[in-house]
A and B are shown apart, each in its own frame.
Chain A
Amino acid sequence: MTRTSALLSAAAVALIALSGGWLPIWVLPISTVALGNGLAVLGMIVLWRAGLVSFGQALYYAAGAYAVALAARHLGIRDAVLLVVIGTLAAAALAYVAGFLLARYRGIFFAMLSLALSMILYGLLVNSQTLGASDGLSVPRATFLGFEPRGDDYTWALFAFTLALVWLSAAAVELYGATIAGALSRPMVDNELRIEFLGVSVDRLVHMKVVIAGLLTGMGGSVVGLSVAHVDPAMAFWTTSGGFVFVAILAGTASVWGAFIGALAFEAVRTFAVSTMPGTWQMTLGAALLLTILFVPQGIGGLIFRRRRATGAKP
């Protein structure tokens, strides 16, 4: 990424943030949640580029969200930036620990062990009545670097803040893709032994990717926790992870922006279906997913951004 492209993409993201001023207000909360989920999907994509699929990203998502809720409630921290940093770091720390377990695993067993870990967190949260059990905890309203916006201004501030996080994360993942560790993703899919011959430990690479994915997912969970103003154990349930895999497939691995467009598209389809056909919205979602897989196999990201990568989204 050159300096100009970084500046210009930042300007473009700022433009969207400002455009939030004239969008109907209801678009902002749903977009904020979608972008937060998009951060989690971005984490999935980092893993997926290396051929790894996690069925347990909800672990870090819930960890980030609960860290935000607890820091706000018990430490009295109100600043959104600080809260998201805390949530992100908590999730990254958890991912670092879990990474020691997960780094040895590939394929379906990586997916299954991640799933088991997230379900254990789910069980612990439901069992702990001090943390509100399945009803969860509310998250108090945040402030932004000393400002205390109210009403619609608060909704907009959170949206703009999330967009800033999105840009930072997208740029960081783009940069990471250009590093040696990032560039080794595809070779990891093709042939791990050859990487080992380069003198690089594949397990350590996987560990790093687990931490990056956990960090991004935790950031997503923190943002969603703030936007929804409530966290509950269902954030750690396997269906949450299933949703991220779902959107990751919609998005494809071709572009970092695909994660966010996929997440926005998913939320748009879901809310449209819930609103207009309340009894059959799951069916609508399922059909949309099938059509995407059948006709846009490289994902939405791949459809919009033609990458130089000849093989498209197939990891």
Chain B
Amino acid sequence: MTALAILIDGLVYAAWLFIVAIGLTLIFGVMKVLNVAHGGLYAFGAYSAATAIGLYFNHDWPAAGGFLAMVLAALAVGAIIGLVLERALLQRFYDKDEILTALVTYAAFLILEDLLLLIWGPQGLFVPQPYRAAGIINIGLLPVSVYDLMLIALAGLLAVGAWYAIRRTRFGRMLMAILYDRETAAAFGVNVTRVYVATFLIGSMLGALGGAVTAPRISVSAGIGVEVIVIAFAVIAIGGMSSIGGALVGALIVGFARTIAVHFAPSLDLFVVYGVMTIVLVLRPYGLFGAAVARKV
């Protein structure tokens, strides 16, 4: 029972972490922007999905459409915020220091936090309809939420999709070219600006998607954004910051480490994530999938 519970809970939590972290690692990998506003996008995704669910489930429409509505609402909001952030702010800083761009996104995050309160008010939203509609199944003796299992499927889908997009499409090859060397890629005719806009847009939409799929299983309230930022940082740092495969492995490690802690040593839950992160970084200074950067002479 315990082993089964650890397996399922670990996988569910890992899937959630991966969904939340994939946009962050994509943006960092390609653009070298540590996007603190990711937390804001997550929160906006959750709130707009919650609004969509609330509106949709007020009618007697089939529940399946509700899932679509919540995802579409979040993707749209993510795209809008991403576009505004990139065009109005970030594009001015690409030739500047990485830390400066991180701070720009931090400022954006602060603004988004208050904007959220201004738009949706302090009371938050509670929209468990999709979570409930999915129901539960018993695996062995353990009742498991089908919605949570769907998160595992979604994470798998995102991982495969990302792998395909990067390895098998023209856009993916351009991404890799920029990732290795921006100037050379530009010299070979890659439109770096366009790829950057597209990357930031996709990353932002993924951030909002993370919030959207979380919305039905939590109470969507103020301050949820700040909680995900640092744990998403930990996940992608373990994986090596720039690698989507790394983020997947990082999510699995963190997911299972936390679940095992909850089962056997609950008070460690507070820092097991950072303990694992430290151990990984001590053993592998550039994360599990990060490559050491060649130093210029």
Say yes or no: A119-B110 contact (C-beta < 8 A), given A109-B287, A193-B297.
Answer: no
- Cβ of B281: which chain A residues have Cβ within 8 Å of it? 105, 109, 112-113, 116
Question: How far, in angstroms, from A120 to B270 measured CA to CA in the complex?
Answer: 8
Number of interface residues of A (CB under 8 A): 45
In the complex, what's the smallest C-beta–C-beta distance from A226 to chain B, in angstroms?
Answer: 28
Say which size band chain B's interface belongs to.
Answer: 35 or more
Question: How far, in angstroms, from A193 to B296 measured CA to CA in the complex?
Answer: 7
Total A-B residue pairs with C-beta atoms closer than 8 Å?
125
Question: How far, in angstroms, from A48 to B234 measured CA to CA in the complex?
Answer: 22
Q: Which residue of B lies closest to A191 (CB)?
A: B296
- Cβ of B278: which chain A residues have Cβ within 8 Å of it? 113, 116-117, 120
Q: Is the CB of B296 within 8 A of A283?
A: no
Say yes or no: A286-B241 contact (C-beta < 8 A), given A115-B233, A249-B103.
Answer: no
Determine whether A101 belongs to the interface, using a CB cutoff of 8 Å to chain B.
Answer: yes
- Cβ of A285: which chain B residues have Cβ within 8 Å of it? 107, 110
Per-residue interface assignment for chain B, residues 274 to 297, with 1 indicating a CB less than 8 Å from any chain A CB and 0 otherwise: 110110011001110010000111
Determine whether A29 belongs to the interface, using a CB cutoff of 8 Å to chain B.
Answer: no
Per-residue interface assignment for chain B, residues 241 to 282, with 1 indicating a CB less than 8 Å from any chain A CB and 0 otherwise: 100000000000000000000000001001101110110011
Determine whether A122 belongs to the interface, using a CB cutoff of 8 Å to chain B.
Answer: yes
Selected contact of B106 from candidates A48, A192, A242, CB within 8 Å = A242
Main secondary structure of the interface of A (DSSP, over half): helix
Q: Is the CB of B271 within 8 A of A192?
A: no
Q: Which residue of B lies closest to A118 (CB)?
A: B274
Per-residue interface assignment for chain B, residues 100 to 140, with 1 indicating a CB less than 8 Å from any chain A CB and 0 otherwise: 10111011111101110110000000000000000000000
Q: Is the CB of A279 within 8 A of B117?
A: yes
In the complex, what's the smallest C-beta–C-beta distance from A23 to chain B, in angstroms?
Answer: 30
Determine whether B92 belongs to the interface, using a CB cutoff of 8 Å to chain A.
Answer: yes
Determine whether B237 belongs to the interface, using a CB cutoff of 8 Å to chain A.
Answer: yes
Question: How far, in angstroms, from A127 to B267 measured CA to CA in the complex?
Answer: 7
Per-residue interface assignment for chain A, residues 252 to 292, with 1 indicating a CB less than 8 Å from any chain B CB and 0 otherwise: 00000000000000000000000000011111011101100
Say yes or no: A314-B103 contact (C-beta < 8 A), given A109-B281, A123-B270, A285-B110.
Answer: no
Determine whether A53 belongs to the interface, using a CB cutoff of 8 Å to chain B.
Answer: yes
In the complex, what's the smallest C-beta–C-beta distance from A289 to chain B, in angstroms?
Answer: 4
Determine whether B195 belongs to the interface, using a CB cutoff of 8 Å to chain A.
Answer: no
In the complex, what's the smallest C-beta–C-beta distance from A146 to chain B, in angstroms?
Answer: 42
Say yes or no: A289-B100 contact (C-beta < 8 A), given A104-B285, A119-B271, A282-B114.
Answer: no
Q: Which residue of A lies closest to B118 (CB)?
A: A280
Determine whether B226 belongs to the interface, using a CB cutoff of 8 Å to chain A.
Answer: yes
Determine whether B183 belongs to the interface, using a CB cutoff of 8 Å to chain A.
Answer: no
Determine whether B96 belongs to the interface, using a CB cutoff of 8 Å to chain A.
Answer: yes
Determine whether A97 belongs to the interface, using a CB cutoff of 8 Å to chain B.
Answer: no
Selected contact of B104 from candidates A53, A108, A193, A293, CB within 8 Å = A293
Q: Which of B20-64 contact A (CB under 8 A)?
A: 28, 34
Selected contact of A124 from candidates B102, B109, B234, B271, CB within 8 Å = B271
The 7 A-B residue pairs with the shortest CB-CB distance, nearest first, are A123-B271, A286-B110, A283-B114, A123-B270, A112-B237, A119-B274, A289-B107
Q: List 28 A-B contacts (CB under 8 A).
A: A48-B99, A104-B285, A108-B28, A109-B286, A112-B237, A112-B241, A113-B277, A115-B233, A116-B275, A116-B277, A120-B278, A123-B271, A127-B270, A191-B297, A193-B296, A245-B106, A249-B99, A249-B100, A280-B117, A280-B118, A281-B114, A282-B111, A282-B113, A283-B111, A289-B107, A290-B104, A293-B103, A293-B107
